[in-house]
Amino acid sequence: MRLVLASASPRRLELLAQIGVVPDAIRPAGIDETPLRAEDARAYVARVAAEKAAAVAANEPGVVLAADTTVVAGRRILGKPADAAEAEAFLRLLSGRRHHVLTAVTVIARGAARHRLVDTTVRFRQLTAADIAAYVASGDWRGKAGGYGIQGPAGAFVPWMQGSFTAVVGLPLAETATLLAAAGIRAGYNCKEKA
């Protein structure tokens, strides 16, 4: 069974490798990821994952896997920061409080789409101005929802979480493995990697 990953995220590729799954092709979906007016965070992340999968499935045979991750503080959706100033603002907002990381996964196989949404609660410790400045200067916030990557230096900001660590990184492995198995792709059995 041919597997296509509808994502350019190196983190998602690494996570799949952890469960022995290597996609046959990587085809990022070039869709508009702007939240719709009055769209809540759960609906937003589920829609974006489904649209990514559908866009790639329209042109690629086989099983298509797509995911989307967003950070939610209160009712505010924190996507990928546009620049260092926005990353700093996100970190100030998250400092000393709990927030939610939502990751939606869609798998399309034989014309049928299956979906999962994982909600993980993360608490940041109180960050100092020096913490924020050093993290922003590191550049680790680039391309990451909410302006941080829990698997890197920002892991030191997180004294507590409830839910899926791999979902916060970008792909909930337990749920993804279940969706792939339903599509005929079993974790632990590598697909052939193609250039």
Cβ atoms of 193 and 22 closer than 8 Å: yes
Question: From the candidates 24, 32, 40, 68, which is the catalytic residue?
Answer: 68
Topology given in CATH for the domain delimited by 3-182: Maf protein (3.90.950)
Domain extents in the chain: 3-182
CA 193 to chain centre: 22
> How many helices (H) and strands (E) would you count in the chain?
6, 7
37-50: string of b/e by CB count within 10 Å (b at 16+)? eeeebeebbbbbbb
Q: Per-residue pLDDT for the chain (195 aa), expressed as one digit of tens each? A: 899 999 999 999 999 999 999 999 999 998 999 999 999 999 999 999 999 999 999 999 999 999 999 999 998 999 999 999 999 999 999 999 999 999 999 999 999 999 999 999 999 999 999 999 999 999 999 999 999 999 999 999 999 999 999 999 999 999 999 999 999 998 874 444 443
Cβ atoms of 84 and 157 closer than 8 Å: no
Helix axes 10-18 and 173-182, enclosed angle (nearest 10): 70
* 68 is annotated as an active-site residue: yes
